[in-house]
Chains A and B, each alone.
Chain A
């Protein structure tokens, strides 16, 4: 069975999870859902957002912003909005998006809290994002174990700011793609664009394209 709901998670903050998720959604022609309820960093929406959807104030399909290069279910920025979310409706929300758009990439927050758990449980498979450091690999491994406990398989690993994927392959036993550090990633972030759109010929964009190919080939 092909992967239609993909959770992108890193465990440790600052490893580039959102950057990878946004670009991967672009390459997979998927809707990107910003699931970082308390610390969202994908572009904002001027209309209803994920907070509104999870609080029952908006329909998930109507909240998707198609004005950018990637269809995006953006997340609000307020703490009150994060606090009012009903996590029990996460799975139904993501499935509703998938039924309309065929493929969904969910950007998960760092850590192992209940939000991450709800998003992983709603997904068919996971892409882990990690740096090649011991601490980041350990954080990603904790996410992998949580996902496994929730019956969500591992599709691939993205190793950011590096081309050395040996440690990740050894640690996770899964395909690993290195996403090298580049000015293109920083520029894409500044402009609120996926790096695959901002600099499609950059090494980082090429790596994400390879990652998307790995995900397409993966089955769950």
Chain B
């Protein structure tokens, strides 16, 4: 099973919540963390949840901020855990990689319209 422990501190009208997800199974799990208090940041799909991949027999950290007070119970719960495949789809892996080229705004300024030469990621 996957266990969740949280800590919370209050900073500038926000509660900063740290989460430790520990997977005691011998296979990786995709864990959905439900955040009952509304307007947690960062948002994920579906709204009000975080999804975290936790390798087998490992602990992974995540976190979020919320306007709810730090003593609200619960700040986060494990809503669901599902097995994830060890195999990786190369096409999806490539799509997930970030760009490493200069941003268009660094070249031509923020007001310049997109042109036909620049690829979509520069727009």
Contact = CB atoms under 8 A, between A and B. Distances in A.
Interface in B105-123: 106-107, 117-119, 122
B117 A117 contact: no
A150 B90 contact: yes
A149 interface: yes
Contacts of B93: 117, 146, 149-150
Contacts of B118: 83-84
Interface residues of B, number: 17
Interface of A: 37-38, 55, 79-80, 82-86, 109, 111-118, 121, 146, 148-151
B99 to A, nearest CB: 6
B102 A79 contact: yes
Given A146-B93, A146-B97, 16 more contacts: A38-B102, A83-B101, A83-B104, A84-B118, A85-B101, A86-B119, A113-B98, A113-B101, A114-B94, A115-B100, A115-B101, A117-B97, A121-B90, A121-B94, A149-B93, A150-B93
Contacts of B104: 83
B97 A113 contact: yes
Nearest to A56: B117
A146 to B, nearest CB: 7
Contact of A55 (B106, B117, B122): B117
A217 B101 CA distance: 35
A79 B99 CA distance: 14
Nearest to A55: B117
A169 to B, nearest CB: 24
A118 B100 contact: no
A151 B93 CA distance: 11
A55 B102 CA distance: 15
A50 to B, nearest CB: 13
18 contacts: A37-B101, A83-B119, A84-B118, A85-B101, A86-B119, A109-B100, A111-B100, A112-B97, A112-B98, A113-B101, A114-B97, A116-B100, A117-B97, A118-B94, A146-B93, A146-B97, A149-B90, A150-B90
Nearest to B92: A149
Contacts of A55: 117
Contacts of B98: 112-114
Nearest to B94: A117
B1 interface: no
Contacts of A116: 97, 100
A38 B117 CA distance: 17
A84 B104 CA distance: 10
B84 to A, nearest CB: 14
B97 A82 contact: no
Contacts of B88: 148-149
A86 B107 CA distance: 17
A111 B119 CA distance: 21
